Amino acid sequence: MKAVIIVLVALTGAMASAAPASADDPAAGAGCQANELNNMVTASDGKALRCLADEQGGFSWMADTGAAGTIAQLQNQGYTVTITRIGSAPLDQCKVTDVRNPSTITRTNRTGTAAGAGSLETIVVSKTIDVTLDCTG
């Protein structure tokens, strides 16, 4: 399923930078906490990492590949990405300033007969997440 990007242009307001993460020597793929969402750290190998929502509904340190890369990663995980954007610079010049509000909506279906024999199956209906960009370049 191809995710849709919704672009919202914010007319006013200041952007706040993410606070530094509190993780000790994180590595790409290692878990991070919900309160660290969007925080950035430098791994021991020198790569920039960002705490993002992962495919299992948790949070993991992932390589920070800039705005387009972050959006693509989230879309590859099945998220519909809503973008709030300040400025008009091209996407490759934008910085991710916030990733928030990951939401997964599920539905449970009963399979089998109406008499109650069968099983329950939970399916993901939709996944959304908000990304804020600073494109003032």
Q: Return the residue matching tokens 């993991």.
A: 60
Domain interval for residue 93: 5-9+26-134
- Work out the pLDDT band at 132, boundaries 50, 70, 90: very high
pLDDT band for 13, please (50, 70, 90 cuts).
very low
Does 18 have pLDDT greater than 50? no
Q: Check residue 136 and give its pLDDT.
A: 92
The answer to whether position 124 is within a domain reads yes
Residue 14 within any structural domain of the chain: no
A 10 A CB-CB count for 117 gives 9
Rounded distance between C-alpha atoms, residue 79 and residue 3, angstroms: 6
The count of domains in the chain is 1
Burial label, 13 (beta-carbon count in 10 A; 0-12, 13-18, 19+): exposed
Q: What is the mean pLDDT of the chain?
A: 78
Number of other CB atoms surrounding residue 124 within 10 Å: 12
Q: Give a yes or no: residue 130 inside a domain.
A: yes
20 domain-assigned: no
Residue 51 located in a structural domain: yes
Sequential DSSP letters for 28-89: TT-B--GGGTT-EEE-TTS-EEEEEE-TTSSEEEEE--HHHHHHHHHHHTTPEEEEEEES-S
First to last CA, the chain: 32
The answer to whether residue 21 is domain-embedded is: no
Are 93 and 18 in contact, with CB atoms under 8 Å apart? no
Of 17-31, 49-63, 81-95, 112-126, which range is least confident? 17-31
Q: Would the pLDDT of 11 be above 50?
A: no
Cα separation, 131 vs 137, in Å, equals: 17
| 16 in any annotated domain | no
pLDDT reported for residue 8: 30
| 49-96 tens-digit pLDDT | 888 877 777 888 888 878 988 898 899 889 999 999 999 988 878 889
pTM above 0.75, yes or no: no
